Amino acid sequence: MSAFETALAFNSPHSANATAAHPLKRNDEVAKAEVAVLVLVLLLALTGNLCVLRAIRAAKTRQSRMLYFMRHLSIADLVVAVFQVLPQLIWDITFRFYGPDALCRLVKYAQVVGMFASTYMLVLMSIDRCLAVCQPLRPVRRGRDRVCVCTSWLLSLIFSTPQVYIFSLRDVGDGVYDCWGDFVQPWGAKAYITWMSISIYILPVGVLSVCYGLICVKIWQNFNLKTRREHVLAPSVNDARNLCRVSSVRLISKAKIRTVKMTFVVVLAYIVCWTPFFFVQMWSAWDDAAPREDTAFIIAMLLASLNSCCNPWIYMFFAGHMFQGVASGFFCCRRYVAASSCSQHHNNSSACAIKKDGSHKTLSHTSSTGEPAH
């Protein structure tokens, strides 16, 4: 059984491909594949998210709300990497949990905290982009943003508490102890997995769908209004073609559209990674004959682990200018970030002004309309 399946507490040992029917056995070949994948995910997640946090901290310009939510989403992804992927990597290597009961409960608790926090930070970021597009003149209240972020972390800590009571160090047979989940039979596992699927996936995806549905409607209205204004104004000028290039009638700035695109790709990556995972979770919970040892099941479980490491690379693609200073020491990253920054400059007509102050460099990024990205 995979890392993330057992993180949600099926009644099986928390080790690669161990099953309730054969708690003392596992498929060593599958375990080796899981270890290799988890090592890669851990390295990418740690490197990428630490680079994001360093780039945000090094930004000399005023911290926007978007950067604020990016910071906390990166912290949540680091929690996933350190407290979910890393313990599972060690667990897959050792096969058994070697530690006291209290550590077993703490690890299981921390593994789910990261899943909740990462999801809820993404929801907050999407709601913020929706409000920025649909209500561009609303006042910015930093205190409200902090309250929302703190509430998300608090909910993540509260919703993860059942893990402490479900998991404990138990005898799985022949005097062998492992960190094992125990449910009220026969409905306990079904109820818990369903609740986790609703709170981490179904409800958040519903909110995200509404947010981006409203954003698409607003952008479409903005496009129609711009087209109508240009049609009315074109006869009164000498060169209608030049007028089409002017963005003075644009209600939504290019900088804001760029952040919406970035958030949309992050959401899309979340859905792609987590949909197979929760599908097989629900299947396994409600169907005793589910093929838990099937390769497709295992791949679906491992896909979920990729979400924690792909977000920072999405940020780097859409906001490469932020990472130029961070990537200066990494030759392989420098060329990629420079290409991303140039692509943003060409497609979005944005300007990256590099200011030198002694031995330090600062980056300020403004849109072609002179409006900062909110």
Residue 332 lies in a domain: no
CATH of the domain at 127: 1.20.1070.10
Report how far residue 92's alpha carbon sits from residue 301's, in angstroms, rounded to the nearest whole number.
14
According to the model, what pLDDT value does residue 17 have?
44
Residue 353 lies in a domain: no
Highest mean pLDDT range out of 50-64, 238-252, 357-371? Answer: 50-64
Within-domain flag for 343? no
Q: Which of 113-127, 279-293, 294-308, 327-341 has the highest mean pLDDT?
A: 113-127
Q: What is the pLDDT of residues 107-134, one digit of tens each?
A: 999 999 999 999 999 999 889 888 888 8
Q: Does residue 24 or residue 57 have the better pLDDT?
A: 57
Encoding tokens for residue 76?
């949540």
| Identity of residue 28 | D
Neighbours of 260 (CB within 10 A): 23
- Whole-angstrom distance, CA of residue 352 vs CA of residue 341: 9
* DSSP-H helix ranges across the chain: 3-7, 28-58, 65-80, 86-94, 101-134, 142-159, 162-166, 188-197, 203-233, 240-245, 254-286, 295-318, 331-348
Average pLDDT over residues 40-57: 89
169 inside domain: yes
Contact criterion met (CB below 8 Å) for 41 and 84: no
CB of 165 within 8 A of CB of 80?
no
Query: Where residue 336 falls among pLDDT bands split at 50, 70, 90?
Result: low
Q: Within a domain: residue 16?
A: yes
What is the token pair recorded at 161? 């508490």
Q: Which helix (H) or strand (E) segment is 370 a member of?
A: none
Residue with the bigger pLDDT between 358 and 8: it is 8
pLDDT digits (tens, 9 = 90+) for 157-203: 999 999 998 998 888 777 788 888 888 877 888 899 999 999 999 99
pLDDT of residue 16: 39
Residue burial 263-298, b: 16+ Cβ < 10 Å; e: rest: bbbbbebbeebbebbbebbbbbbeeeeeebeeeebb
Question: Sign of dihedral through CA atoms 32, 34, 40, 43?
Answer: negative
Per the listing, tokens 């760029």 go with 258
pTM, full prediction? 0.74
Give the residue, 223 or 284, on which the prediction is more confident: 284
User: Beta strand 176-181 with 167-173: parallel, antiparallel or unpaired?
Assistant: antiparallel
Q: Poorest-confidence range of 8-17, 119-128, 153-162, 204-213?
A: 8-17
Query: Of the ranges 260-274, 297-311, 360-374, which is most confident?
Result: 260-274
User: What letter represents residue 341's amino acid?
Assistant: S
Is 65 a domain residue? yes
Locate 283 and state its tokens: 């299947």
Q: Are 139 and 374 in contact (CB under 8 A)?
A: no
pLDDT at 134: 81
User: What residues form DSSP beta bridges with 257?
Assistant: none
Tell me the two tokens of residue 14.
């928390």
CA within 13 Å, CB half, 110:
18
Count of structural domains within the chain? 1
In a domain, 360, yes or no: no
Q: How far apart are the first and last CA of the chain?
A: 43
Residue 176, classed as helix, strand or coil, is strand
Residue 96 lies in domain? 3-320
20 in a structural domain: yes
* DSSP label of 140: P
